[in-house]
Amino acid sequence: MPSKLAFLGLGNIGRGIAKNLVAKSKDAELPLILWNRTKGKADELSKQIGTSKTQVASTVEEAVLPSDIVWTCVGDDKADLAVYEAAMAVDVKGKLFVDCSTVHPETTDRITEMCKAAGAEFVACPVFGPPAAAEAGKLICVPSGPKASIDRLLPFTIDVIARENIIFADAPPSKSSLLKITGNTFILTLVSNLAEALPFAEKSGLGINELGQFIKLMLPGAYDGYFERMKNGDYYKKEPGFTVDLALKDANHAIKLAEDCGVKLQGVEVARGHLQAAKDIQGERADMASQYGAVRKESGLPYEV
Ligand X SMILES: NC(=O)c1ccc[n+]([C@@H]2O[C@H](COP(=O)([O-])OP(=O)(O)OC[C@H]3O[C@@H](n4cnc5c(N)ncnc54)[C@H](OP(=O)(O)O)[C@@H]3O)[C@@H](O)[C@H]2O)c1
Residues forming contacts to ligand X in the complex (CB under 6 A) are: 9-14, 36-38, 41, 73-75, 79, 82-83, 101-102, 127, 130-131, 241-243, 246
* Contact in structure between 251 and 279 (CB atoms under 8 Å): no
Burial 211-225 (b: 16+ CB within 10 A, else e): bbeebeeeeeeebbe
What is d(CA 227, CA 231) in angstroms, rounded to the nearest whole number? Answer: 6
Minimum distance of ligand X from residue 275's CB (angstroms): 13
Minimum distance of ligand X from residue 95's CB (angstroms): 19
Minimum distance of ligand X from residue 236's CB (angstroms): 17
Minimum distance of ligand X from residue 195's CB (angstroms): 17
Q: Which residue, 32 or 211, has its beta carbon nearer to ligand X? A: 32
How far the first Cα of the chain sits from its last, in Å, is 54
Q: Which residue, 164 or 298, has its beta carbon nearer to ligand X? A: 164
Q: Which residue, 203 or 237, has its beta carbon nearer to ligand X? A: 237
Nearest to 2 by CA among 31, 41, 37: 31
The residue with its CB nearest to ligand X is: 11
Q: Which residue, 84 or 303, has its beta carbon nearer to ligand X? A: 84
Strand partners, 4: 29
Minimum distance of ligand X from residue 245's CB (angstroms): 8
Q: Which residue, 41 or 163, has its beta carbon nearer to ligand X? A: 41
Minimum distance of ligand X from residue 118's CB (angstroms): 19
Q: Burial level of 3, CB count in 10 A (0-12/13-18/19+)?
A: middle
Q: Which residue, 205 or 283, has its beta carbon nearer to ligand X? A: 283
